[in-house]
Every structure is written in C-alpha cells, then in structure tokens.
Structure 1
Amino acid sequence: MFEWISDHSTFVQASVGIVTALVWVIYLHILVSGLRRQRRSEILITLAGARDLSGRILVSNLGFEPIYILDILLRSRAEADERTVSVAERTEVRFEDRTSSDQVTLQMPLKSGDFVDIGQFETLLRRARPSASQHGDASDLTHVEITVVAVTAATTSIVAARRGFGIERSGKDRISLRADSLYARQIRRRRERRRIERQLEDLL
C-alpha cells in the first residue's frame, strides 16, 4: 500500500488537492448562501380580525435586516376602473390629534421581528378614494392589491412585497375578503422593482 502511494505520489497529491478545493468550494457556497439569506428581506402582509372591511392589515419585517417603509401602494380594480395610489399617509387622523409621527405617516423603520398596523381595510380604501362616502366606495371593487415598498442598508435598491385580496359579495351589502395567496409575494426581480420605483416617481 505504502509502496503504491510512493509510486503514485503525484497522482495522490493531485487527488488530495482536488478534494480539498471541492471542500472549500462547498464551504464557500454554504457561507455565501447563509449571508444572502441573512441580508434578504422578508415582508409579511397579513389580514387580522374579521375577513371583511373591518379587518386590519399588519405589515411585519421577518428579515434579519431592519427596513424603512418608504411607501404603501394600493391598487384597486373595479369593473370599469383601475388605479394605484399611495395610502401611507394617515389622512383619517384629525390634524389636532397628530401628536406623533406615527399618527401622521406610515413611513417608519421596522426592526427585525417588528410589525405595524397600517389600518382597517376600509380605512385604506378611504385613503385611496377620499371622495367616497361609505366603505371607501367598495361597492364596485372586485380586487385590491397592497404593495409595501421599503429600503434597507443591505441593498442599494428598494425591496417590496405584494399581496392581493379578492372582494366577494353575498347578500345585501355583505362584503368578504379572500387573499390570493397564503403569503405575501416578495418582489425580487430587478425589472419589477424598477417598475415600482417609476410608480413612486409618478406619485411625487
């Protein structure tokens, strides 16, 4: 055995070098993947309470990095109309009651594990349609999509998540909400993020 190793020392050294290199490559891949997971944003959008217009929308930061909520976009779809507006400003709070920044706007930092209540679904519709008199004028709506846009120190561009809700009607004036998916979809493709950035620029 030792004689064979001695006779083929060059081959053995080359094989050991290749195995060592493979081990380091695998280790580096695991290390880089772990760092990417730690820096990757994860924004949760949930409906709490009743599954109707009185339900409250919660935004949670499940990523390891803190985020800063830059804006919240609401896209409402009706039979003959579709619009996307910002609902980050708490327009329902009276001016004299605005004693702190969180009563003025939803633009705020969220640490890892933190969440913020952005309001009732009905309130979001009122912010999107301020001229509506009842239920944010949801009588003609068929679908609503909420997009949370944020920034983080881990990336030079925005991060975002989106979740849609179908609006179903049963009986007289009875409205229920049904989420399109179990979780909010994380928007990671550069093209989609650039499209959202252009929407924000248009809303300036």
Structure 2
Amino acid sequence: MLDWIKNNSELLMVVANFGTLLIWLFYAQLLFLGYRRERRPRILINKGVGAADLDAPCLICNMSKEPVFVQSILVELATNDGRYLTSATDTEEGEQDTTKTSIGRRTRQGPLESGVCLEVPSFRILLQKGADAAGVELQDGLPVDPEVKLEKLTVTVVAIYGPEDDPFGAERVFGLDCEDRQRVRLRPETLDTERLNSRLDKRRLKDLVGRYN
C-alpha cells in the first residue's frame, strides 16, 4: 500500500488539490449567495391589524439592508367592467401631517430607512383612488350602482435602491369581497409581497412612473 501511494504520489496530489478547490468554490458560492441576498432590495406590503378591513392601515415596510427612495405608489382597481390604474403617491387633505415638511405633507415620496414602515392611513383611501379612476361612485366602500362588482385591489410600490439606476418594485393583490352588500372584506391573495426586479419588470415600472407621476 505504501509503495502504491509512493508510486502515485503525484496523481494523489492532483486529486487532493482538485478536491480542495471544489471545497473552496462551494464556500465561495455560499458567501456570494449570502452577500447577494443581503444586498437585494425588499419591500413588504401588509394590511395592518387592529382595524376593520377597509379602515386597516396599509403598511409599506423597507426590509432591505439599506434605505430606499419611494418614488411612486400605484393602485389598480379591478371590477367586472375592467381594470383601472392610478397614482396614490400624493396624500389626501385629511391625512396631511403638519409636523412634516411641506413636501412630506403633500406626497408619500421620499427616503425610507431600513426596517421602517410608511403608513397609508387606510385601504379605504386607496380604494377611493381606484374608484375615482374607474368612475365608480362609492358609499361606505360599496358601489352605489348594484351592477358594479369590485373584485381586486392591487398595490404597487416603485422605489430606487442605493446606487442602482433602475427602479425596482413590490406588489400585492388584495381580494374585495362585497357579496353581502353590507361591507367590503379585504383579503390578501398571496402570503407574501411579490418582488418586481426582472428586466421586464423594470421596463414596465419605468413606463408606469412616466405615465402616472
């Protein structure tokens, strides 16, 4: 056995070096994936608890490693008559905070630190924005016209992350249950917020921001 090892020492050395290289490549891949995951921007869109459906706040939380700049908030209302998209970046008169700067009182645009949430006071505000775009008159969140059926409300956030030139987005769809004609029930259709970070997504987001800002 010792003679065989001595006679094949060069081959064994090559195999050992190759095995060591594979191990280093494996750990380098793990480090790279961890680094990329930490650097990847992430925004969560959640329905706040402790309030009835439409009056629950819409929370936009920055879970990225670094601050993001919220460029635009869009809402799309789907009804039985079609889909209607509009901007919800500007604040409403009744929700303006006098403690903020003049710009901060007028818009939801601006930097959002890591781990911080931007709060839209209620989904009722977002639903009304979509209804205005659709030309649908609402009373207590329900269409006045019984022929109009509310189906879904989609919230899309467009943001810039750090030194990146292109925007990225986050999107979440909420179903609207109005079957009893008494109140609107809001239910997330997915467990998590969808990340919009592909090249196709970025082109679409640029187009949306150009049209609705």
TM-score w.r.t. length of structure 1: 0.88
SS at match of 2:54: coil
In structure 2, the gaps of 5 or more residues are none
**Residue 2 of structure 1, CA deviation:** 4.1
Match of 1:20 in 2: 20
Percent identical pairs in the alignment equals 26
Q: How many residues align?
A: 204
Match of 1:175 in 2: 184
What is the root-mean-square deviation in Å for CA atoms of aligned residues? 2.5
Match of 2:162 in 1: 153
Say whether 1:166 aligns with 2:165: no
Task: Report if the CA contact (8 A) 1:38-1:63 is conserved.
Answer: yes
Task: Report if the CA contact (8 A) 2:141-2:184 is conserved.
Answer: no
Match of 1:107 in 2: 109
Match of 2:118 in 1: 116
1:186-201 aligned at under 5 Å gives the runs 186-201=195-210
Q: Distance in 2 between the 1:193 and 1:24 partners? A: 35
SS at match of 2:25: helix
**Residue 93 of structure 1, CA deviation:** 4.0
TM-score w.r.t. length of structure 2: 0.84
**Residue 97 of structure 1, CA deviation:** 5.0
1:123-142 aligned at under 5 Å gives the runs 123-128=125-130, 129=132, 134=138, 138-139=142-143, 140=148, 141-142=150-151
Give a deviation string over 1:156-198, Cα, whole Å, max 9, x none: 3212111111111243431111110111111232212211211
Task: Report if the CA contact (8 A) 1:93-1:104 is conserved.
Answer: no
